[in-house]
Amino acid sequence: MRISFVFLWIVSQLSGLSWADNTPLIDAKKYDFSLFLDIRYATSNNFTHKVIYPEARCLLRKPVAEALSRVQASLKIRGLRLKIYDCYRPLTVQKKFWELVPDERYVANPEKGSRHNRGAAVDLTLINADDKELEMPTGYDDFTERAHRNSMKGTKKQISNRTLLEKAMEQEGFVGLDTEWWHFDFKAWENYPIEDIPFSTVP
């Protein structure tokens, strides 16, 4: 049995396969109380104009929540904080979004699953000491090219703030989505399984 396990591990390393990481989802707000939540899909202030989530919670895999907390700590030195728009998203919700916007530039195809469905992605922005959002090129869930990470359509201040957020996130292992300045995936997101569990099942 030991030999078989070692053999499988070697094969997986050589073939580029990865082991599934079943680290449970945790409540990021309980892990780091200083996170500011504005979970848009728990309100009607989103592109669907409907309340989608039954409660406003940011659920993430523990390594993702830990990394997000480190980003928060680094920003506090500048007098800034993170404002969270979305974290874990059940696959059932992903299917609803796909029906509304079947465009993989902005909404992940539920057949493949979203990084949000894995608890390994966050949508966020920056706020100052007065809890006011810093200027960004667009608002949240803007489906235009102006929201693209490499777009230069915006003021110098907006572009600078976008870059500041990106660099802070990258330092802790997050990678930004090309078409959404607010969306960041955690490294090795593909190791986490797609979930469709209710928010209420997570302590």
Domain around 188: 25-201
**3-class SS of residue 146:** helix
- Paired tokens of 124: 């966020």
Would 174 be classed as within a structural domain?
A: yes
Would 7 be classed as within a structural domain?
A: no
Q: What is the CATH number of the domain that holds 113?
A: 3.30.1380.10
Would 1 be classed as within a structural domain?
A: no
SS3 of the chain: helix, strand, coil, percent, to 5: 35, 15, 50
Would 61 be classed as within a structural domain?
A: yes
What are the tens digits of pLDDT across the range 103-153?
Answer: 888 888 988 989 999 999 999 999 999 999 999 999 999 999 999 999 999
Determine whether 180 is an active site residue.
Answer: yes
Q: Which residues of the chain, if any, have pLDDT below 70? A: 1-20
Would 96 be classed as within a structural domain?
A: yes
Would 193 be classed as within a structural domain?
A: yes
Would 66 be classed as within a structural domain?
A: yes
pLDDT of residue 88: 98
Q: How many domains does the chain have?
A: 1
Which candidate in 145, 170, 180, 190 is catalytic? Answer: 180
Would 18 be classed as within a structural domain?
A: no
